[in-house]
C-alpha cells in the first residue's frame, strides 16, 4: 500500500505535505514525490525515503503555494525509481498539467494504456497510475472533476486518488474505491490523506469517503458525489487518534514503543467489556446479533500474517471454550476456494488495518454466500469494519511499526472475549467463564513482568544473531505463537525462520538441525508439556540450541535448554498473550543487532491493500 496526502487551504502546503508523508511513511517507503500548484506546476519525485525528497525541495522557493499533493510509495507496478515515483502527470507536451497520486491497483491498466498509446499518448513510467493520469487528460475538456469521473468509469481495480490540474488552480479532486481515503475538514482548508495519522495535527473533524465517491474541494467549499454526479451527503466524524499516540516519544522505534504499550493496550481492549465475577462479557458491537450468534454452528476466522496467527488461536479458543466447530484460514486462499458456507456459519475477519485486500475480499465472499460476518479490527471506520455485519474494535491505538505487536495482543484478547461470549450462550458455565475472565484481567500486569526481561533477551539473541536459520516450535494454542515468533524474526531481521507444531519437526524439518542451530520452543506448563520436553530432547541430541519460553518456577526446563525466558503462569487459553512477548523482543533485538530498520523493513508495508 502507499500513503497519499493532499492539501488545499490558506497555509503554505510544502512543509505540511512533507510532514504528512512522514506520518504515512509506514504505509510504503521505496520512493516519494510532491506536486504544488502556485501559478505554475512544480513537481519533484525520487526513489528513497521522504527525507530524500525533503532535501530536494525544502530550500527550493519554486515549491511554494497553498495547494498540493504528495505520495510515499510501496511499489506494485514498476520498480522503485525516480520515474515510477508519484505524482504522475498527463502528457507533458499536449497535456493540461494534470497530476495525480494514487494508492491501489488499476487492474485494466494495460488495455487502457494500449488505447491511449493508439491515441498518441506517450508514457514515461511503468506504472498503472500514469495511465490513469493520461486517461483523465484524454477526457479533459476544461472540467477536472468531470474528466476524473469519466476516467474512473473506465477503470477496474482499487484506487484512492488526489488530482490537481494546472488549468484549474484552486480545485482539488479526491476519489476512492477499495482503498482508504479520509478528508480532514479544517477552517478554510482540507487535508486529504490515506489515514488519520496525517490529519490529526490539523483537525479532528474528518469525512471517511465511501467507495465510488468523488470529492471536489476548494478553499471554501466541498462537495461529494457518486460516479453519476449525484450529490452524496458525507458523514462527518470526530477522529479518536491524538498526536501523542502517533509520536515516538521516548522510544527509539515504534515497534519497541508498541511492545511496551501492550499492557495498556490489553487494558483498553478489556475496558467496559468484562463482568469477570459474573462470568460475563459485554460486546456492544454484537448485541444486535446475540441470539443469532448464539445458535452459531461454525466459526471461520480469516486473516493474513499476524492476523491469521491470531485467528488460529481464536479457532482453538472457540472450540475449547464454546464447543463450536471452528477453524482459521488464509483469507487469500478462502476467497478463491469457492468455500462451502453452511447455514449458521459466522465468518470473522481479523485485521489491524481493516484494509488488507485479501481479508476484505474473503469477507465479501463469505457474505455473498450467506455467512454472518464479524470484524475484529483496530482502525475505526476502515473498509473491513464497514463491510462487516458486526464487530469488535481492538482499541489498542494506532499501530505504526510494520511488525504487528500490540494489535496481535488486541486480536487475541478480543478472541478470548468472543470465545467466552459465545461459550456463555452455549455450555460454558458462569464459574468457568469467571475463572478465565479473572485471569484475563491479570494479563496486563503479567505482560509488564515479561517486558522487564528485555535486556536478558537481548543478551541471549546476541549469541545466535548471526545464525541464518531458526526453528520455532509450539503445541496446541502455542503453535500459532511459534508461527508468530518466526514471522516477527523474518520480517525485521531477514533471518529465515520457520514456525510449526512441535511434533511436525520430526516429519522433515529435523533434518535442518545442525550444531548450534537456534530452536525456540514454547514450553509452558500445558496439557502437552511432557510432549514438548521430548521434542526439546530430540532437538538437543542433534546439536540444536534450545531457547525455551517456560512457566515461572519451572526450574527443570533450564537443565535441558541453553536459555529460558520465563512467563507467569496463566490458564492455557491465555498463554499466547504472554508467550508471544519474549518472541517479539527477540525479533526486535535481532533486527537491531543486524543493523536493520526495525520500523520500515525492506519490501514490506504496514498494510497490504493490494492482492
Instruction: Name which of 27, 69, 34, 68 is nearest 51 in CA terms.
Output: 34
CB of 505 to ligand AGP, least distance (A): 23
Nearer to ligand AGP, 194 or 528 (CB): 194
Nearer CB in complex with ligand AGP: 214/608: 608
Least separation in angstroms between CB 306 and ligand AGP? 3
* Gap between the Cα atoms of 69 and 8, Å rounded: 9
Residue in the block written with cell 550444531: 515
> Is the CB of 551 or the CB of 609 nearer to ligand AGP?
609
- Least separation in angstroms between residue 404's CB and ligand AGP is 4
Nearer to ligand AGP, 345 or 359 (CB): 359
What is the smallest separation between the CB atom of 493 and ligand AGP, expressed in angstroms?
13
Catalytic residue flag (residue 561): no
Cα–Cα nearest to 419, from 322, 283, 280: 322
Question: What are 365's strand-pairing partners?
Answer: none
Cβ 546 to ligand AGP shortest distance, Å: 25
CB closest to ligand AGP, residue no: 305
- The Cα–Cα gap between 411 and 427 comes to 24
Asked if 606 is an active-site residue, the reply is: yes
Question: Where on the chain is the footprint of ligand AGP (CB under 6 A)?
Answer: 304-307, 351-353, 356, 359, 402-404, 491, 607-608
Q: Is 286 helix (H, G, I), strand (E, B) or coil?
A: helix
Our CB check for ligand AGP shows the closer of 336 and 427 to be 336
Nearest residue to 265 via CA among 98, 445, 397: 397
Report how far residue 190's alpha carbon sits from residue 567's, in angstroms, rounded to the nearest whole number. 49
Closest distance to ligand AGP from the beta carbon of 479 (Å): 17
Cβ distance 368 to 398 under 8 Å?
A: no
Q: Which of 22, 177, 600, 606 is catalytic?
A: 606
Q: Which is nearer to ligand AGP, 402 or 523 (CB)?
A: 402
Cα 329–332–333 angle (5° rounding)? 60
Identify the CA nearest to 31 among candidates 160, 106, 112, 127: 127
Preceding omega of 87 cis (within 30 degrees of 0): yes
Judged by beta carbon, residue 224 or residue 607, the one nearer ligand AGP is 607
* DSSP result, 1-57: --EEEEEESSS-HHHHHHHHHHHHGGG--SEEEEEEESSSEEEEEEES-HHHHHHHH
Provide the pairing of β-strand 182-185 with 205-208: antiparallel
Alpha helices by DSSP H, listed for 523-575, are 529-540
Nearer to ligand AGP, 279 or 499 (CB): 499
Closest distance of CB 355 from ligand AGP, Å: 6
196 within 8 A of 354, measured Cβ to Cβ: no
In whole angstroms, the minimum distance from the beta carbon of 241 to ligand AGP comes to: 16
Dist. CA 418–CA 375, nearest whole Å: 11
User: Which residues are paired to 386 by β-bridges?
Assistant: none
Spatial separation of the C-alpha atoms in residues 179 and 161, rounded to whole Å = 9
Selecting among 2, 66, 165, 269, the annotated active-site residue is 2
Q: Beta strand pairing status for 326-330 and 182-185?
A: unpaired
Between CA 548 and CA 383 the distance in angstroms is 39
Question: Which residues are tagged catalytic?
Answer: 2, 606
Amino acid at each position: 500500500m502507499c500513503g497519499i496526502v493532499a492539501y488545499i487551504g490558506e497555509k503554505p502546503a510544502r512543509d505540511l505535505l512533507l510532514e504528512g508523508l512522514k506520518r504515512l511513511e509506514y504505509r510504503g517507503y521505496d520512493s516519494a514525490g510532491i506536486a504544488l500548484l502556485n501559478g505554475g506546476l512544480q513537481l519533484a519525485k525520487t526513489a528513497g525515503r521522504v527525507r530524500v525528497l525533503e532535501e530536494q525541495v525544502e530550500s527550493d522557493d519554486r515549491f511554494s503555494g497553498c495547494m498540493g499533493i504528495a505520495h510515499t510509495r510501496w511499489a506494485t507496478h514498476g520498480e522503485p525509481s525516480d520515474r515510477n515515483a508519484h505524482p504522475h502527470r498527463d502528457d507533458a507536451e499536449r497535456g493540461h498539467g494534470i497530476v495525480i497520486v494514487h494508492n491501489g491497483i488499476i487492474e485494466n491498466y494495460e488495455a487502457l494504456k494500449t488505447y491511449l498509446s493508439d491515441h498518441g499518448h506517450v508514457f514515461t513510467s511503468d506504472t498503472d497510475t500514469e495511465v490513469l493520469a493520461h486517461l483523465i487528460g484524454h477526457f479533459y475538456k476544461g472540467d477536472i472533476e468531470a474528466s476524473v469521473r469519466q476516467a474512473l468509469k473506465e477503470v477496474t481495480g482499487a484506487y484512492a486518488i488526489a488530482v490537481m490540474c494546472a488549468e484549474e488552480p484552486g480545485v482539488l479532486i479526491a476519489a476512492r474505491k477499495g482503498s482508504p481515503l479520509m478528508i480532514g475538514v479544517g477552517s478554510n482548508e482540507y487535508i486529504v490523506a490515506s489515514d488519520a495519522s496525517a490529519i490529526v495535527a490539523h483537525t479532528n473533524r474528518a469525512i471517511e469517503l465511501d467507495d465510488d465517491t468523488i470529492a471536489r474541494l476548494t478553499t471554501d467549499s466541498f462537495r461529494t458525489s457518486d460516479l453519476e454526479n449525484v450529490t452524496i451527503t458525507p458523514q462527518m466524524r470526530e477522529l479518536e487518534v491524538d498526536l501523542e499516540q502517533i509520536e515516538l516519544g521516548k522510544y527509539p522505534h515504534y515497534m519497541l514503543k508498541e511492545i511496551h504499550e501492550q499492557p495498556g493496550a490489553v487494558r483498553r481492549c478489556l475496558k467496559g467489556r468484562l463482568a469477570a465475577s459474573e462470568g460475563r462479557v459485554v460486546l456492544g458491537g454484537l448485541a444486535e446479533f446475540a441470539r443469532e450468534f448464539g445458535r452459531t454452528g461454525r466459526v471461520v476466522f480469516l486473516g493474513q500474517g499476524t492476523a491469521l496467527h491470531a485467528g488460529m488461536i481464536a479457532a482453538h479458543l472457540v472450540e475449547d471454550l464454546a464447543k463450536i466447530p471452528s477453524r482459521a484460514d488464509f483469507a487469500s486462499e478462502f476467497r478463491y476456494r469457492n468455500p462451502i458456507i453452511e447455514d449458521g456459519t459466522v465468518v470473522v475477519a481479523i485485521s489491524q488495518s481493516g484494509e488488507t485486500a485479501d481479508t476484505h475480499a474473503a469477507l465479501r465472499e463469505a457474505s455473498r454466500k450467506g455467512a454472518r460476518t464479524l470484524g475484529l479490527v483496530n482502525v475505526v471506520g476502515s473498509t473491513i469494519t464497514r463491510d462487516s455485519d458486526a464487530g469488535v474494535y481492538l482499541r489498542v491505538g494506532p499501530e505504526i511499526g510494520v511488525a504487528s505487536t500490540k494489535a496481535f495482543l488486541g486480536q487475541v484478547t478480543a478472541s478470548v472475549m468472543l470465545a467466552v461470549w459465545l461459550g456463555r450462550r452455549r455450555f460454558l458455565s458462569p464459574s468457568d467463564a469467571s475463572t478465565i475472565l479473572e485471569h484475563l484481567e491479570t494479563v496486563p500486569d503479567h505482560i509488564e513482568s515479561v517486558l522487564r526481561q528485555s535486556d536478558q533477551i537481548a543478551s541471549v539473541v546476541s549469541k545466535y544473531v548471526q545464525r541464518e536459520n531458526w526453528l520455532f516450535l509450539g503445541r496446541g494454542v502455542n503453535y500459532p505463537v511459534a508461527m508468530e515468533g518466526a514471522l516477527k524474526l523474518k520480517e525485521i531481521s531477514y533471518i529465515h525462520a520457520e514456525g510449526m507444531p512441535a511434533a511436525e519437526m520430526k516429519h522433515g524439518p529435523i533434518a535442518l538441525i545442525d550444531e548450534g542451530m537456534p530452536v525456540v520452543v514454547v514450553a509452558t506448563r500445558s496439557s502437552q508439556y511432557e510432549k514438548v520436553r521430548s521434542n526439546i530432547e530430540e532437538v538437543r541430541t542433534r546439536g540444536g540450541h534450545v531457547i525455551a519460553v517456560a512457566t515461572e518456577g519451572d526450574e527443570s526446563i533450564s537443565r535441558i535448554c541453553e536459555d529460558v525466558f520465563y512467563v507467569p503462569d496463566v490458564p492455557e487459553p491465555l498463554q499466547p498473550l504472554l508467550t508471544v512477548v519474549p518472541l517479539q523482543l527477540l525479533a526486535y533485538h535481532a533486527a537491531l543487532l543486524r543493523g536493520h530498520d526495525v520500523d520500515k523493513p525492506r519490501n514490506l508495508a504496514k498494510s497490504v491493500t493490494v492482492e
